């Protein structure tokens, strides 16, 4: 039986885990690897984990895949076979062990693994973990480990010929490999191969903990009752003791007789007065480190640590007057989910560093997000991603890796999918962040609404067969695996549950609302099209100029240049973006200004939607925009670009996701002011409204005391704008709405009465200054102070040539205010000589 081992290894030397307390997770084999085009050419140095594209780049065989139009020139790589090899020295300490196993945590994708010329693994699924007993094959001294990758495109071309009919999604649906690698509307095509996750070697005697799963049975204020489910491998029958410890103290112990082979042993334990795990914004995301210890004859043989969160989480779907609810209840409290859709952070995910994970998820948490959806066209993320989500209180809506396509239902394919699902459910089920397992992205919608049957000329028998295969995977196999290997979380077959053409998409389940963008509906449609849980919506923008500079030269800075066209992956992307821009802005001729305004357009869309969805609480209980991040630099729906620069949409989404939100909105001739609270406490404060012109003259004001109930959305103020705007020029005024307590502002929002292009803005005259004490402090944060006598819209700060980001940007400044902004340089960035550049909307008109 294949086990999910977390260890295996190789290197020039086998190192016995040198620990006081033994732990049989193995040693990573990350050194001394080489690669070559199969049977051809010289062997070159390789990085493992890694992939062919990044190895070719590091060896200067190819140029930067993201630069210019290089993508087109690098397509040959996918049609070649590739080989990797490493020497593995097995010393006496390894050879003496009763069991030696090799573990491959990820092979992308069609890989034959040879150890000393014996074929030990035939891999065909990027998402699986492969382990092999190599005791009989490993020789004392030097061994050779060789991994031969067959071209993934050639492999499926042959299989497709055998299968007959084409399926929506193209031949790659036959490959269990990340879909976005084949090109997506935000991604280039780089169909890579490689050892993309660690290889380990694991050598042990007697017995080991193959897996430890901590299952929560019940929780009250006084105690949490849990069960530790050990899976033990033993080489021979033996008496053993299993113990559960927390912070050094034993919580439970059992003695048992192990049989040779697999043993399942359960051990109940309790945590008294448990500190609960809460999501970001609601409380501490407390984690307990629970240690499982295996001992025999008085000695510890193995141990495994799990970080768990004690919490209850339910998906509540109950019929109500308008449909069926769809919300998550955490520790008994309904929680509005705020966040975004997550896509792999790189076309070559093996090169994403710990710093990049920390930085991205740190920004998600800073923005107030409490849920991310790991989208089905990418990858099951690595453990670090989920560890960080656990720490930051970010729940994960976890798709299985199927997107926008139909898949075959033959036995071999189903077997592969089953293995993949079991591997990943087992790997991730201890994480408190995992909220829900979802079968796929947009396949139910695609089958019922995208005209595939006609497009592919399917007969009704074909359709019955293809939908039957869908049912096998998404309505039988995956929910079966979730029930059997988790059983504590809901399974949701497809996101969205109804296509947007169906009225039910607004009354039950989750919804992707693409009427805005794909159908060209105005942003105001977000105020009307309110579902129970919005799991996708969005608008594109260009990344900022510093990101564009990484992949182009100034001569390319035109929408129609070959390089910009090559980087725009969405059909009609620029055209749709320009058409939205023209509705509210003048479309700038100058590229720099176009880039900047594109971000303002995206920010307007995201702000409008998040606020509308939050105002509709509790009818609507989730708002996840498309998309958080990017896998390469190019125009896309992301709010943080490939290099980690937040776009305008990031800052506006952050404001819109604030726990207390004041949200003024125009509805015909009415100005409506809502306050939304995601706080668990009643907040006493003030609602301050002011109508002011751009030099600061207040023509109308209102101040009222407010008591904001926990978890609420209410209308606090209503006014007829015809009276209110009667004596002012609406092109020269703005409404400032603010909720504040006696000592601090909680939320501020501005409302305009004409489109941005019709605002009669004064030219600002402000000189930014570094705060003297901070200026130039090496490695430190820079404080920048800005002041302006007149109103300034969409202030954009940049720090040419310096990597880092501002804690606020693309903001508006009320007349006479002073704003202090921090610049957080990337690690290792020298900020001496930093110069800040400032522009605002008035500069681009
Ligand atoms: C969503 C996603 C992706 C796509 C995005 C933008 O529906 O599921 O398929 O990238 O739309 O079109």
Q: Best of 403, 442, 449 to mutate for ligand 1, by most ligand atoms within 8 A of CB?
A: 442
H, E, C per residue of 565-586: HHHCCCCCHHHHHHHHHHHHCC
Distance CA(802)–CA(834), nearest Å, equals: 7
Mean pLDDT over 430-451 rounds to 98
Distance CA(23)–CA(607), nearest Å, equals: 49
Cα separation of the two ends of the chain: 67
From the CA of 184, give the closest atom in ligand 1: 10
474 Cα distance to chain centroid: 22
In this prediction, residue 772 carries a pLDDT of 53
Reply yes or no on whether the pLDDT at 4 is more than 50.
Answer: no
Q: Which candidate, 331, 249, 393, 301, places its Cα nearest to that of 97?
A: 301
Mean pLDDT over 463-471 rounds to 97
Residue 186 C-alpha to ligand 1 middle, in angstroms?
Answer: 8
Tell the residue nearest (CA) to atom 10 of ligand 1.
185
Residue 518 C-alpha to ligand 1 middle, in angstroms?
Answer: 10
pLDDT tens for each residue of 563-582: 999 999 999 999 999 999 99
Q: Which candidate, 305, 118, 92, places its Cα nearest to that of 203?
A: 92
β-bridge pairing 182-184 and 187-189: antiparallel
In this prediction, residue 1 carries a pLDDT of 31
pLDDT tens for each residue of 160-172: 777 666 899 999 9
Mean pLDDT over 740-758 rounds to 96
Residue 501 C-alpha to ligand 1 middle, in angstroms?
Answer: 16
- Bridge partners of 262, per DSSP, are 233
Q: What are phi and psi of 702, to 5 degrees?
A: -150, 140
In this prediction, residue 575 carries a pLDDT of 98
When mean pLDDT is compared across 181-195, 206-220, 224-238, 781-795, the lowest value belongs to 781-795
555 Cα distance to chain centroid: 34
Reply yes or no on whether the pLDDT at 12 is more than 50.
Answer: no
Reply yes or no on whether the pLDDT at 828 is more than 90.
Answer: no
Distance CA(53)–CA(192), nearest Å, equals: 6
Higher pLDDT residue, 161 or 730?
Answer: 730
**Residue length of the chain:** 845
In this prediction, residue 373 carries a pLDDT of 98
* DSSP code string of 273-316: SPPPB--TTTS-B--EEEEEEEEETTEEEEEEEEEE----EEEE
Q: What angle do CA 72, 76, 77 make, to 5 degrees?
A: 110
Supply the residues annotated as catalytic.
442
Distance CA(360)–CA(628), nearest Å, equals: 9
pLDDT tens for each residue of 651-677: 999 999 999 999 999 999 999 999 999
Residue 232 burial (C-beta neighbours within 10 Å; 0-12, 13-18, 19+): buried
Q: Which candidate, 204, 200, 197, 139, places its Cα nearest to that of 11?
A: 200
User: At 771, is the pLDDT very low, low, confident or very high (cuts 50, 70, 90)?
Assistant: low
User: At 17, is the pLDDT very low, low, confident or very high (cuts 50, 70, 90)?
Assistant: very low
DSSP state of 725: T
Mean pLDDT over 281-293 rounds to 98
- Tokens of residue 536, six digits: 């996708």
748 Cα distance to chain centroid: 28
What are the angstrom distances between the C-alpha of 715 and each of 475, 613, 663, 712, 718? 42, 14, 9, 10, 8
Range among 256-260, 764-768, 782-786 with highest mean pLDDT value? 256-260
Beta-carbon neighbour count of residue 217 at 10 Å?
11
What pTM was estimated for this model as a whole? 0.95
From the CA of 376, give the closest atom in ligand 1: 8
Q: What is the residue-averaged pLDDT of the chain?
A: 94
In this prediction, residue 822 carries a pLDDT of 92
pLDDT tens for each residue of 62-115: 999 999 999 999 999 999 999 999 999 999 999 999 999 999 999 999 999 999
Whether 168 contacts 553, CB under 8 Å: no
Residue 624 C-alpha to ligand 1 middle, in angstroms?
Answer: 13
Q: Best of 536, 571, 572 to mutate for ligand 1, by most ligand atoms within 8 A of CB?
A: 536
Q: What angle do CA 844, 782, 815 make, to 5 degrees?
A: 45
Q: Which candidate, 756, 782, 738, 752, places its Cα nearest to that of 842?
A: 756
Whether 639 contacts 353, CB under 8 Å: no
342 Cα distance to chain centroid: 3
């Amino acid at each position: 039986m294949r086990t999910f081992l977390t260890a295996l290894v190789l290197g020039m030397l086998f190192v016995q885990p040198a620990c006081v307390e033994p732990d049989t997770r193995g040693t990573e084999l990350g050194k001394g690897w080489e690669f070559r085009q199969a049977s051809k050419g010289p062997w070159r140095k390789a990085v493992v984990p890694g992939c062919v594209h990044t190895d070719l780049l590091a060896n200067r065989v190819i140029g930067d895949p993201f630069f210019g139009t290089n993508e087109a020139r690098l397509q040959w790589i996918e049609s070649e076979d590739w080989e990797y090899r490493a020497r593995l020295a097995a010393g006496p300490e390894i050879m003496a062990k009763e069991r030696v196993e090799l573990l491959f945590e990820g092979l992308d994708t069609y890989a034959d693994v040879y150890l000393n010329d014996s074929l030990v693994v035939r891999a065909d699924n990027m998402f699986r973990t492969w382990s092999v007993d190599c005791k009989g094959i490993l020789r004392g001294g030097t061994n050779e480990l060789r991994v031969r990758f067959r071209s993934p495109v050639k492999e499926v071309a042959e299989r497709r010929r055998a299968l007959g009919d084409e399926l929506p999604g193209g031949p790659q649906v036959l490959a269990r490999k990340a879909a976005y690698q084949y090109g997506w509307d935000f991604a280039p095509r780089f169909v890579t191969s490689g050892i993309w996750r660690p290889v380990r070697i694991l050598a042990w005697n007697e017995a080991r903990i193959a897996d430890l799963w901590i299952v929560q049975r019940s929780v009250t204020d006084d105690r949490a009752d849990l069960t530790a489910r050990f899976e033990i491998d033993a080489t021979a029958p033996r008496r053993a003791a299993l113990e559960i410890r927390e912070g050094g103290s034993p919580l439970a112990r059992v003695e048992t007789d192990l049989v040779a082979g697999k043993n399942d042993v359960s051990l109940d334990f309790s945590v008294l007065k448990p500190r609960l795990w809460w999501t970001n914004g609601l409380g501490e995301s407390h984690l307990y480190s629970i240690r499982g210890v295996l001992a025999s004859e008085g000695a510890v043989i193995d141990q495994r640590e799990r970080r768990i969160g004690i919490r209850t989480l339910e998906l509540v779907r109950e019929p109500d007057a308008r449909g069926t609810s769809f919300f998550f209840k955490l520790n008994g409290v309904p929680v509005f989910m705020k966040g975004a859709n997550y896509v792999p952070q790189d076309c070559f995910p093996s090169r994403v560093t710990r710093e990049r994970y920390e930085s991205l998820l740190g920004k998600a948490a800073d923005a107030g997000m409490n849920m991310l959806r790991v989208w089905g066209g990418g990858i099951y993320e690595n453990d670090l991603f989920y560890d960080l989500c656990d720490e930051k209180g970010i729940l994960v809506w976890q798709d299985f890796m199927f997107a926008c396509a139909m898949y075959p239902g033959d036995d071999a394919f189903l077997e592969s999918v089953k293995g993949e699902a079991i591997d990943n459910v087992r790997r991730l089920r201890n994480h408190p962040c995992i909220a829900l397992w979802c079968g796929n992205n947009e396949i139910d919608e695609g089958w019922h609404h995208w005209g595939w049957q006609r497009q592919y000329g399917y007969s009704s028998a074909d359709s019955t067969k293809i939908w039957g295969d869908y049912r096998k995977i998404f309505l039988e196999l995956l929910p079966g695996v979730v029930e059997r290997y988790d059983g504590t979380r809901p399974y949701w077959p497809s996101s969205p549950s109804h296509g947007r053409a169906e009225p039910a998409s607004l009354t039950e389940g989750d919804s992707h609302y693409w009427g805005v963008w794909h159908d060209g509906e105005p942003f105001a449609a977000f105020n009307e099209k309110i579902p129970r849980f919005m799991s996708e919506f969005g608008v594109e923008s260009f990344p900022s100029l510093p990101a564009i500079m990484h992949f182009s030269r100034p001569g390319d800075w035109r929408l129609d240049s070959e390089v910009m066209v090559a980087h725009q992956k969405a059909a009609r992307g620029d055209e749709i973006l320009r058409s939205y821009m023209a509705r509210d802005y003048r479309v700038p001729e100058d590229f720099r200004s176009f880039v900047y305004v594109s971000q303002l357009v995206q920010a307007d869309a995201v702000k409008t939607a998040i606020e509308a969805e939050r105002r509709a609480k509790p009818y609507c209980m989730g708002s996840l925009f498309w998309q958080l991040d990017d896998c390469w630099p190019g125009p896309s729906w992301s709010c943080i670009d490939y290099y980690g620069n937040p776009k305008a949409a990031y800052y506006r989404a952050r404001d819109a996701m604030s726990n207390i939100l004041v949200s003024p909105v125009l509805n015909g001739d009415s100005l409506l002011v809502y306050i939304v609270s995601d706080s668990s406490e009643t907040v006493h404060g003030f609602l301050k409204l002011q109508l002011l012109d751009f030099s600061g003259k207040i023509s109308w004001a209102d101040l009222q005391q407010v008591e904001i109930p926990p978890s609420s959305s209410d209308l606090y103020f209503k006014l007829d704008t015809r009276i209110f705007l009667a004596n002012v020029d609406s092109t020269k005024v703005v409404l400032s709405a603010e909720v504040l307590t006696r000592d601090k502002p909680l939320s501020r929002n501005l409302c305009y009465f004409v489109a941005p292009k019709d605002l009669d803005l004064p030219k600002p005259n402000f000189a930014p200054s570094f705060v003297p004490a901070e200026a130039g402090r090496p490695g430190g944060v820079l404080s920048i102070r800005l002041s302006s006598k007149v109103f300034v819209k969409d202030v954009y700060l940049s720090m040419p040539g310096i990597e880092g980001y501002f804690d606020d940007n693309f903001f508006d400044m009320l007349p006479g205010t002073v704003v202090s902004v921090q610049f957080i340089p990337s690690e290792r960035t020298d900020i001496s000589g930093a110069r800040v550049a400032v522009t605002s909307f008035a500069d681009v008109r």
